[in-house]
Amino acid sequence: MKIFAKSFTQQESIPEEGIARAVEIMRSGRLHRYNVEVGEESEVSQLESEYAKWQGSKYCIACASGGYAISLALRVAGVKHGDTVLANAYTLAPVPGAIHSVGGVPLFIEIDENYHMDISDFEAKASSSGSKVLLLSHMRGHISDMEAVMAICKQYDIILVEDCAHTMGASWRGVRSGNFGTLAAFSTQTYKHMNSGEGGFLTTNDPDMAARAVISSGSYMLYSRHGAIPDQNHFEAVKYYSPNYSGRMDHLRAAMLRAQLPHLEDNVARWNALYDDLHRRIKTIPGLTIPDRKQEESYVGSSIQFRMDGVNRSDIPGVLNRLANRGVELKWFGDDEPKAFTSRYDSWRYIDNLPVLSKTLSVLEKTVDMRIPLTFNLDDTALIASILSEEMAMMTTGNKATA
């Protein structure tokens, strides 16, 4: 019996130049982002300038995490206690958590069978709720029809905040994900497209929001030590009115990220070679359904989602167990119980009046999810697909394999 022996959570190491710089910073003892020598531009500040340039945004604020960057974006977008925030229901727990942390109340929107936000449900809820903010999570890298999203945001005067935790480096019709919204949040947590263990960015082109975000990220009155910020006058206007919610990035993380940024474009291509190979193979396996990606979308295939439509829902845990015993680790979004990183919107019970989103529940019911780390190669994707194919064949013939 074929067994897959690699880990689905093994990342590549940090580039040597990042390790060397991190060691240098540790030797200096100056780890805090504002701890610099006279005339020195800090590591975090340089990272902010470089990321803003790469992303194509005017301003960038490095943060302690992606979830923190989302909550900061919501704050500067004006979300106050009790405000409704529109949000697609297919996402991960830090997203509703960020809404909750600023006192907002999520109003979840259905998704369609391609894992995109359902545009007609968005329009209906935009119109009926009067909400002024949409937090759009490009969950697992699936980018909704951005022309349609932007048209509805414009019509109802809604500020778009993009959660790009899974779309750093992706785009829609050639525009980078994160450059549609007034604000965007990125994560550099270990499983994302750049890895600093924990970390994130907030980007925006709005100078007043940027100034407030810098001070609220915890700049004290040291905001001039930032790399990609608006003119001083924008700070004068807001500095007495922006609370400090400490959530800064430190120099060690910045050193690791600065060494990875020049490789990001190449890594996107490497991810997509693995993703496209898996997609092509999964498409041919009876019993599995995998949506085609839209032509307008340039994705980053760091994970893959498909449905086990040929299997009864009650049989899915058994199939996943057998796959796990053969080394193929899949997560299940249809599980009623939240497990590890995976949870479904109806398990976030701290939110009052959780709706029943029948379309979302039926799409997720048989949806499984697999990470694709860059430590895999094309032999690995072939082996994974052949194990998947064998186990699905066992199921569909009713001849269940034993572990």
- The residue ranges that bind ligand PLP (CB under 6 A) are 65-67, 91-92, 94-95, 137, 139, 163, 165-166, 187, 189, 200
Q: How far is the CB of 276 from ligand PLP (least distance, A)?
A: 22
With vertex at residue 13, the alpha carbon angle to CA 60 and CA 198, rounded to the nearest 5 degrees, is: 40
d(CA 66, CA 101): 13
275 class by beta-carbon count within 10 Å (0-12 exposed, 13-18 middle, 19+ buried): buried
Q: Minimal distance in Å, beta carbon 344 to ligand PLP?
A: 13
Q: How far apart are alpha carbons 108 and 99 in whole angstroms?
A: 12
Q: Determine the residue with CB nearest ligand PLP.
A: 66
CA dist 250 and 157 (Å) reads 36
The residue (of 62 and 395) whose beta carbon lies closer to ligand PLP is 62
- Report the alpha-carbon distance of residue 200 to residue 247 in Å, rounded: 10
From the CB of 171, what's the least distance to ligand PLP, in Å? 18
Cβ closer to ligand PLP: 116 or 166? 166
Of 11, 21, 8, 10, nearest to 257 (Cα)?
21
Which of 180, 124, 363 has its CA nearest to residue 108? 124
Ordered alpha helix ranges (H), 157-250: 207-214, 232-238
- Measured from the CB atom, the residue of 178 and 230 that comes closer to ligand PLP is 178
Measured CA to CA, the distance from residue 210 to residue 250 in angstroms comes to 19
Q: Toward ligand PLP, which CB reaches closer, 57 or 187?
A: 187
| Distance of closest approach, residue 315 Cβ to ligand PLP, in angstroms | 28
- Report CA dihedral (26, 27, 29, 35) to the nearest 10 degrees: -80
Closer Cβ to ligand PLP, 45 or 187, answer by number? 187
Phi and psi at 171, nearest 5°, equal -150, 165
Report the distance separating Cα 345 and Cα 353, nearest Å. 12
The least CB distance from residue 75 to ligand PLP, in Å, is 15
Helices of type H across 34-141? 43-55, 66-76, 94-101, 119-129
- Tell me, rounded to whole angstroms, the distance of Cα 225 from its chain centroid: 28
- C-beta of 189: minimal distance to ligand PLP in Å? 4
Our CB check for ligand PLP shows the closer of 166 and 258 to be 166
Compare residues 42 and 195 and give the one whose CB is closer to ligand PLP.
195
Nearest-approach distance from CB 115 to ligand PLP, in angstroms: 12
Q: Which is nearer to ligand PLP, 163 or 277 (CB)?
A: 163
| Nearest distance in Å: CB 137, ligand PLP | 5
Element (DSSP H or E) covering residue 300: none
For residues 91 and 392, which CB has a smaller minimum distance to ligand PLP in the complex?
91
- CB crowding 114-143: b at 16 or more within 10 Å, else e: bbbbbbebbbebbeeeebbbbbbbbbbbbb
In the complex, the smallest distance separating the C-beta of residue 395 from ligand PLP, rounded to whole angstroms, is 29
Whether 202 contacts 69, CB under 8 Å: yes
401: tokens are: 């394999």
> Do 186 and 66 touch, CB atoms closer than 8 A?
yes
Rounded to a whole number of angstroms, the minimum distance from the CB of residue 190 to ligand PLP is: 9
Cβ distance to ligand PLP smaller for residue 305 or 319 = 305
